[in-house]
A and B are shown apart, each in its own frame.
Chain A
Amino acid sequence: MKSTILDSDFYIKLNKSAFGNNGFGDELYLVTGETSILTVDANTLELKNTFTPTRKVKEMATNNNEIFATSYERKVKLYQRYDFNNEFDLAPYGNNYGLEFSNDVTNRLIQIGKTEIHAYDLNDLGVLLNHSFQFNPYQTNWVNNNLIMSPSGKYIANNSKEVFDSNLNPIAKLESPYS
């Protein structure tokens, strides 16, 4: 096993991160201070781009197909990697929803909040083709972030330990053994 260590030359107030290849090689995307998205070369840690959206960034996800989604309060905004300034909104539902793109359905954005879970099917330009949702029976927190999609795309979970399947059906709310 070999390892290498490489320093970056910038400092950030890290809020969110994502990885991907959106047509410009492997990149690391870092949200700093809820205001800017830094695009960093994943090989060299060279800072390639700094983008400041019109709204703060609480959540961020990318689909490895040139689309970014960010959310803040009731807004979900979409951007394309080649031109971050091409910004448009998805219909707002609820508050403080976590975001993640599906691992098994191309361009499907999943959004979980306290009262609902949504799926947005987009085309390659980020235009909404279909929207579906189900009610969240667990309703644990108003702030549901840090979504994690299983590698197969069959399951998604949030920081409230709520688990759903890819059809938005609730599977379980996990209980901590320490609570």
Chain B
Amino acid sequence: MSSKKSYQNQNLASINLNEFQVTKEGNRYHCSRNALNIATFQNYTLYISDKPILGNIDPKSSVWLDISANIIVDQNINKFDTLIYELSTNLYFQLKLNISKSIIKSNMIHIENENLHFLNNFPVDEVLYFPERQTLYFMEFLEKNYHPIIYQVKK
């Protein structure tokens, strides 16, 4: 107990993850945080989810984009990119720092993907693209036959 207090006293000033930032460039997300200098550093984990990240998450029990986790073991790495092909209009990012027996959470970043549109729920088995019309034609597979559905996108 005394060692934990000692640790907190020594490192509290430098353990500030609230400068965690994420910027988006296409499908690439640039993540950065303030520099760390912690003697008891073990690793930090970047969590990415399509829902706000809760406190007691277990990435091993979740499916991709319910939540995903990248574990980084070098505290000198404070900028990194991650490539995501979104399946959600909302993405949430959060860093969790693992030091000794403590976990410190960063601020949570929410990025909205305005270019992603979800259609009504129907199974799509084939997609045709008509470039001159900027039109997608979706083929729904029903009872061993394809059923053409037009989905026209206009900018």
Contact = CB atoms under 8 A, between A and B. Distances in A.
Interface string A34-71: 00000010100100000000000000000000000000
B128 A28 contact: yes
Nearest to A64: B132
B130 A19 contact: yes
A30 B128 CA distance: 11
Tell me whether chain A's interface is mostly helix, strand or loop, or mixed: strand
Contacts, number: 69
Interface in B121-155: 126, 128, 130-133, 135, 137, 139, 142-155
Contacts of A5: 119-120, 149-152
A13 B143 CA distance: 10
B contacts with A: majority SS: strand
B117 interface: yes
B144 A13 contact: yes
A8 interface: yes
B135 to A, nearest CB: 7
B128 to A, nearest CB: 5
A40 B148 contact: yes
A19 B128 contact: yes
Nearest to B137: A28
A171 B96 CA distance: 49
B147 A11 contact: yes
B6 to A, nearest CB: 50
A8 B143 CA distance: 16
Contact of A45 (B117, B126, B150): B150
Interface in A1-27: 1-8, 10-14, 17, 19, 21, 26
30 contacts: A1-B117, A1-B153, A1-B154, A1-B155, A3-B154, A4-B151, A5-B150, A5-B152, A7-B147, A7-B150, A8-B148, A8-B150, A10-B147, A11-B142, A11-B147, A12-B145, A12-B146, A12-B148, A13-B144, A14-B139, A19-B128, A19-B132, A19-B133, A21-B132, A26-B130, A28-B128, A28-B130, A28-B137, A40-B148, A42-B133
Interface of A: 1-8, 10-14, 17, 19, 21, 26, 28, 30, 40, 42, 45, 151
Interface of B: 115, 117, 119-120, 126, 128, 130-133, 135, 137, 139, 142-155
6 shortest interchain CB distances as A-B pairs:
A11-B145, A14-B146, A8-B148, A6-B150, A19-B130, A2-B154
